[in-house]
Amino acid sequence: MVKLICTLVDHKDDVNCCAFSSSFLATCSLDKTVRLYSLSNFEELPYSPLEGHTYAVHCCCFSPLGHVLASCSTDGNTVLWNTHNGLKLAVLEHPCRNPVRICRFSPDSTFLVSGAADGSVNLWNVQSLKVYRSGSVKDGSLVACAFSPNGSFFVTGSSCGDLTLWDNKMRCLYNEKAHDLGVTCCDFSSQPLSGNKEDVQYYQMASSGQDSMIKIWLMSFTEHTGLELKCKCTLNGHTAPVLACAFSCDGKTLVSGSVDKTVVIFETNTGNILHTLTQHTRYVTTCAFAPDMPLFATGSMDKCVKIWQFEPKQLFTGSALIEEPKIAVDNWSEEDVSAWLCKHGLDDLVEIFKKNNIDGKELLSLTKESLTDDLKIGKVTLSLSLSLYIYIYIYLSIYIYIYIYIYI
59: Cα separation from own chain's centroid: 10
Question: In terms of DSSP H, where are the helices of 19-99?
Answer: none
DSSP 370: I
Share of the chain above pLDDT 70, in %: 85
Of the candidates 122, 132, 114, 148, the residue with the CA atom closest to the CA atom of residue 227: 148
pLDDT tens, 171-202?
Answer: 999 999 999 999 999 999 998 886 656 678 88
Q: Residue 145 is which amino acid? A: C
Q: What mean pLDDT comes out for the span 69-97?
A: 97
Nearest residue to 284 (alpha-carbon basis) of 267, 308, 268: 308
The amino acid present at 278, given as its one-letter code, is T
Instruction: Show me where the domains of the chain are located.
Output: 2-310, 329-401
Q: What is the mean pLDDT of residues 388-406?
A: 32
Spatial separation of the C-alpha atoms in residues 199 and 32, rounded to whole Å: 46
Q: Quick one: average pLDDT of 239-250?
A: 97
Rounded mean pLDDT, 277-297: 97
Q: What is the CATH number of domain 329-401?
A: 1.10.150.50
Contact present, 58 and 70 (Cβ < 8 Å): no
Q: For residue range 120-154, list pLDDT tens digits in order.
A: 999 999 999 999 999 999 889 999 999 999 899 99
Task: Please give the torsion angle defined by the CA atoms of residues 29, 35, 41 and 46, in that order, rounded to the nearest 10 degrees.
Answer: -150
Q: Is 83 helix (H, G, I), strand (E, B) or coil?
A: coil
Q: Tell me what the mean pLDDT of segment 310-327 comes to.
A: 46
CB 306 within 8 A of CB 4: yes
Q: Which helix (H) or strand (E) holds 339?
A: helix 334-343
Share of the chain above pLDDT 90, in %: 68
Distance CA 274, CA 237 (A): 11
**In the predicted model, is pLDDT for residue 383 greater than 70?**
no
Residue 393 has a pLDDT of 31
pLDDT at 343 over 80: no
Closest CA to 274 of 315, 245, 305, 234: 315
**Per-residue model confidence (pLDDT) at position 224:** 74
Choice between 201 and 109, residue whose per-residue pLDDT is larger: 109
Among candidates 260, 252, 264, which has minimal Cα distance to 298? 264
How many CB atoms are located within 10 Å of the residue 395 CB? 7
Beta bridge partners of 281: none
* pTM of the predicted structure, to 2 decimals: 0.78
Phi, psi of 90 (to 5 degrees): -165, 155
Question: Of 158, 174, 160, 259, which Cα lies nearest the Cα of 218?
Answer: 174
pLDDT at 401: 31
The average pLDDT across 322-332 equals 54
388 has pLDDT over 90? no
Return the CATH number of the domain spanning residue range 2-310.
2.130.10.10
Supply the pLDDT for residue 254.
98
Confidence of residue 41 (pLDDT cuts 50, 70, 90): very high
**Residue 332: predicted pLDDT:** 81
Q: Once rounded to an integer, what is the mean pLDDT over residues 201-217?
A: 95
Q: What are the tens digits of pLDDT across the range 2-23?
A: 999 999 999 999 999 999 999 9
Q: What is the mean pLDDT of the chain?
A: 86
pLDDT tens per residue across span 273-284: 999 999 999 999
Classify burial at 403, counting beta carbons within 10 Å of its beta carbon; exposed 0-12, middle 13-18, buried 19 or more: exposed
Question: What span, in angstroms and rounded, lies between the C-alpha atoms of 208 and 215?
Answer: 6
Per-residue confidence at 323, pLDDT binned at 50, 70, 90?
A: very low
Decide which of 346 and 7 is more confident: 7
Between the alpha carbon of residue 55 and those of residues 132, 299, 347, the distances in Å are: 26, 19, 34
pLDDT of residue 320: 30
Q: Are 182 and 142 in contact (CB under 8 A)?
A: no
Residue 376: exposure state from Cβ atoms within 10 A (0-12, 13-18, ≥19): exposed
Most confident of 220-224, 228-232, 323-327: 228-232
- CA Rg, the chain, in Å? 21
* Sheet strand arrangement including 242-247: 242-247, 253-258, 263-267, 273-277
